[in-house]
A and B are shown apart, each in its own frame.
Chain A
């Protein structure tokens, strides 16, 4: 069996795919625990697109149907190094909104940079991903404005954001276990400036994201993440081979 680890991923595509996949999985819980019917449709669509974007990034990296399957369902759990934002379930809506805003802006920054690549496959994927993520960015910005602009929810949004933001310092951090990790300082700075524009409006400081990206931690140091991964794999086994992420991008 081929082994795929993030250390092989010089371009960060697989590391981004991990984030999209886990976000899609965690967000999908809100389809049934929803705010209103319209929001149920929205998180359903966004979660579905996060899974498709994960599959697209894996394909661009060169993983075929089987490779994508192995990457998600058979790779050792300790090889996963998603951002710490996704190592926690986050059980309330304001935290979920803040996390989604941070991830949508990160995906937008990343895909826009991909769209400037010399590699035509990376470039084409970047253009489509950037266009599709724009819808997610708009959706989560609107929620931040709604929650932050209403006296009944603004305090809670700020309290929750103060807990969530420190988890996001590693979004542009190196996922590599190689000897010379290369944190993406430019990506971090571009991302921080975009989220600051939105969060400052509702009184949320972004200092806790850090001056530069922090390094990502392996999943085996994060018990709740291990639990989530076990849950994903359990579902996969029960669904049987031929389903799951492999079915999204054939």
Chain B
């Protein structure tokens, strides 16, 4: 078993909704070998009800088998709260480009003009992991991921 090749393959798996890898999003937590020799991949859901969980698991299994066709693959979902401040710099760059606010920033800002003069447009967006905002400076609407640092308990704008 070439575990390095398996890790490399899993590192290329993208989220089904945004063009960011699951590693850069902080969804892939571990890739290793279980006691029975199966490849064990631990994922952390952005929200327990994330509807993309099945598809993420399918893509991970497919990636593992692309380099180890005969390997058993166990995808495990970790029971923990996903945090936006664990998104990588590369992942954050892509999110900003496609209209999400910086998930690791202490204060939410418009991804288009950078203004912090923004308003939360309700607590629920088009998906369980999204919170809708509008920018008072440039008029754009954008989403923040629910686990963003600026939306965690104790942060302003909660």
Chain A interfacial positions (CB closer than 8 Å to B) = 38, 41-42, 44-46, 48-49, 51-53, 56, 60, 121, 124-125, 127-129, 131-132, 134-135, 138-139, 247-250
Count of A-B contacts with CB under 8 A? Answer: 62
Provide the residues of chain B in CB contact with A127, threshold 8 Å: 79-81
Nearest CB of B to A43, in Å: 9
- Asked if A128 and B80 make an inter-chain contact with CB atoms under 8 angstroms apart, the answer reads yes
Closest-by-CB residue of B relative to A40 is B124
- Asked if A53 and B48 make an inter-chain contact with CB atoms under 8 angstroms apart, the answer reads yes
- Whether B154 sits at the interface, judged by CB under 8 Å, is no
Question: Which of B27-35, B51-59, B65-73, B107-115 has 4 or more CB atoms under 8 Å from chain A?
Answer: B51-59
Q: How many residues on the B side are at the interface (Cβ–Cβ under 8 A)?
A: 21
CA distance A247 to B128 in the complex (A): 16
- Asked if B123 and A249 make an inter-chain contact with CB atoms under 8 angstroms apart, the answer reads no
Provide the residues of chain A in CB contact with B123, threshold 8 Å: 42, 135, 138-139
- Asked if B128 and A128 make an inter-chain contact with CB atoms under 8 angstroms apart, the answer reads no
- Asked if B47 and A49 make an inter-chain contact with CB atoms under 8 angstroms apart, the answer reads yes
Nearest CB of B to A30, in Å: 13
- Whether B125 sits at the interface, judged by CB under 8 Å, is yes
- Asked if A128 and B122 make an inter-chain contact with CB atoms under 8 angstroms apart, the answer reads no
CB within 8 Å of A: which B43-94 residues: 47-49, 51, 53-54, 57, 77-81
Provide the residues of chain A in CB contact with B153, threshold 8 Å: 131, 134
